Amino acid sequence: MFKSKRLSINPTMTDTLVGERTSFEGRIRSEASIRVEGRITGDIECLGDVIIGEHGSVESNISAGNIVLAGNVQGNLVTKGHLTITSTGSLQGNINAASFIIEEGGLFQGNSQMETKLPAHAPQDQGDDSENEYKPASAGKGGFDGNTVAI
């Protein structure tokens, strides 16, 4: 009588919102995008995008498809896509991204490493699979691999 429909998850749609007056402690895993306007303490693993709003505050390591940072993050960020720190954003931690933009007024203190191809989550054992291997951008397509302090 009732047919079960399996809904497909669209990683570009925001599935989870942590509101401005909400705090959360623990690990979050999501197949869709996450927006943080409140406070999170704990790791975030997301196949979609992670957006930290202007009022968002995160003490966490974040792994996501793309990351937009308009609030504050203390932790390491890994993205297979783009990382944007807006003019109101602040990051204290390390970055591993394919693309990295800091708008004027944005703050970043840490190390950055740009990669041409990154998995959504860093593999435990890379083995000999050269297709999934980390490849530094400086190996032929430009990029930056070093320390950055923006004041």
- pLDDT tens column, 36-66: 999 999 999 999 999 999 999 999 999 999 9
**Strand residue runs (E) in the chain:** 14-18, 23-25, 28-30, 33-36, 39-41, 44-46, 49-52, 57-59, 62-64, 66-69, 72-74, 77-85, 90-92, 95-102, 107-114, 145-149
pTM of the model: 0.71
pLDDT of residue 12: 56
Whether 147 is covered by a domain: the verdict is: no
pLDDT of residue 14: 64
Whether 46 is covered by a domain: the verdict is: yes
Q: How many domains does the chain have?
A: 1
Q: Is residue 15 pLDDT above 90, yes or no?
A: no
Which among 92, 89, 49, 91 is positioned nearest to 70, based on CA atoms? 89
* 99 vs 138, more confident: 99
Residues 32 and 48: beta-carbon distance below 8 Å: yes
CA torsion through residues 88, 46, 11, 21, sign: negative
Whether 98 is covered by a domain: the verdict is: yes
Hey, what amino acid is at 130?
S
Residues 6+ apart with CB under 8 A from 12: 33, 48, 49
Top-confidence range, 26-35, 112-121, 124-133: 26-35
Whether 113 is covered by a domain: the verdict is: no
Whether 114 is covered by a domain: the verdict is: no
Hey, what amino acid is at 81?
G
Whether 137 is covered by a domain: the verdict is: no
Residue 90, domain extent = 26-108
* 13 vs 26, more confident: 26
DSSP, collapsed to helix, strand or coil, labels residue 88 as coil
- 111-120, pLDDT tens digit by residue? 999 886 545 5
Q: CA-to-CA distance for 100 and 149, rounded, in angstroms?
A: 14
Whether 15 is covered by a domain: the verdict is: no
Whether 34 is covered by a domain: the verdict is: yes
Q: Which two tokens stand for residue 109?
A: 């203190």
pLDDT of residue 144: 45
